[in-house]
Amino acid sequence: MKVKKAFVWYRGFSSIATVDVPAGAPVEWNEKNKCHYVIPSFFPGVITQHDAIHYGCRVAPDNVEE
């Protein structure tokens, strides 16, 4: 699965407030939360990966391509 259209990940909990997520970023389904998330290893920076692991970069259901 992957992101259909690019979007901005707004992160009020981090010193890096926004991250641009491009179309084609890999997505995984989280059965526990019933949500799609960008796979944390996609992000290049340690801080961004940390936030993706612990907070998650959610993807809207209509923005996921199989």
pLDDT for res 64: 98
pLDDT for res 14: 67
For residue 60, pLDDT over 90 is answered with yes
The rounded distance, in Å, linking the Cα atoms of 32 and 17 is 26
- What pTM, to 2 d.p., does this model score? 0.90
The rounded distance, in Å, linking the Cα atoms of 53 and 4 is 21
- Give per-residue pLDDT as tens, 1-58: 999 999 999 987 766 689 999 999 999 999 999 999 999 999 988 889 999 999 999 9
The rounded distance, in Å, linking the Cα atoms of 55 and 16 is 14
